[in-house]
């Protein structure tokens, strides 16, 4: 199977989130090859998962309270808050099939994607481990302080975690990788492509993004493009 590799983009997070949402909706409307894209935030942003429906829901987030000047944008996928700016992010938008499809369930797909990331980091000289059910994992809404099973840890801290949205046989997986002390994303992207190809048995081919999709994302992101929704409700 071929996966489409879309161009790497550095931009503010509302635009990135809008692009992922539009790609997700496009896959629902018109079945096509899975799309994979890497991106980064052009400035610090916090993304908040879909469990945060109102500004008041952020009141207990220590990440938000500790970063009062960092704007917050909504995320279509689940999970808690994530601080972006130095991390590498990727999104996978794909249809999933019957029970033997590795993307079929949240648990299986999450583990497989992280297996690919683990291979990539190992090939770059790191030695990450999976969090397991045997690890004491307290619950909280700041994603990188409260890991879940199958997240990746290295040197005593979480370095990779993801969140998903599923609807009508399509999944959107968003992944944040935060490797301390490392600059530049090119080598990491190449390694992750190799890891995912090994785990899923796929070929990744470069593809172009429809310019109209980018323009739609810009329009969709305008309400959040320069401000936080800390003081407003999300619909």
Report the 10 Å Cβ neighbour count for 164: 19
| Residue 143 among the catalytic residues | yes
90 neighbors 5 (Cβ within 8 angstroms): no
Q: Which of 50, 73, 81, 143 is catalytic?
A: 143
Phi, psi dihedral angles at 218 (to 5 degrees): -60, -45
Rounded to a whole number, what is the distance in angstroms from the first to the last CA of the chain? 37
Angle at 161 between CA 118 and CA 109, to 5 degrees: 70
Tokens standing for residue 149:
């099973």
User: What is the set of active-site residues?
Assistant: 143
């Amino acid at each position: 199977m071929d996966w489409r590799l879309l161009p790497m983009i550095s931009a503010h997070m509302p635009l990135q989130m809008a692009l992922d949402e539009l790609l997700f909706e496009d896959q629902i409307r018109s079945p096509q090859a899975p799309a994979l894209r890497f991106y980064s935030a052009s400035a610090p942003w916090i993304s908040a998962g879909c469990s945060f429906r109102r500004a008041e829901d952020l009141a207990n987030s220590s990440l938000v309270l500790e970063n009062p000047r960092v704007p917050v944008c909504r995320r279509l996928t689940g999970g808690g808050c994530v601080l972006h700016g130095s991390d590498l992010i990727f999104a996978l938008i794909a249809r999933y099939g019957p029970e033997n499809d590795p993307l079929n369930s949240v648990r299986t797909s999450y583990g497989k994607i992280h297996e690919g990331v683990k291979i990539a980091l190992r090939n770059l000289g790191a030695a990450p481990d999976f969090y397991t059910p045997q690890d004491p994992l307290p619950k909280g809404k700041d994603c990188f302080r409260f890991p879940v099973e199958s997240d990746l840890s290295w040197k005593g801290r979480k370095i990779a975690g993801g969140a998903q949205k599923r609807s009508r046989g399509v999944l959107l997986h968003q992944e944040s990788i935060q490797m301390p002390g490392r600059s530049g994303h090119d080598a990491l992207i190449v390694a992750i492509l190799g890891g995912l190809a090994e785990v899923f048995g796929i070929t990744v081919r470069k593809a172009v993004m429809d310019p109209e999709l980018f323009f739609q994302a810009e329009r969709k992101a305008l309400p959040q493009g320069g401000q936080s929704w800390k003081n407003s409700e999300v619909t």
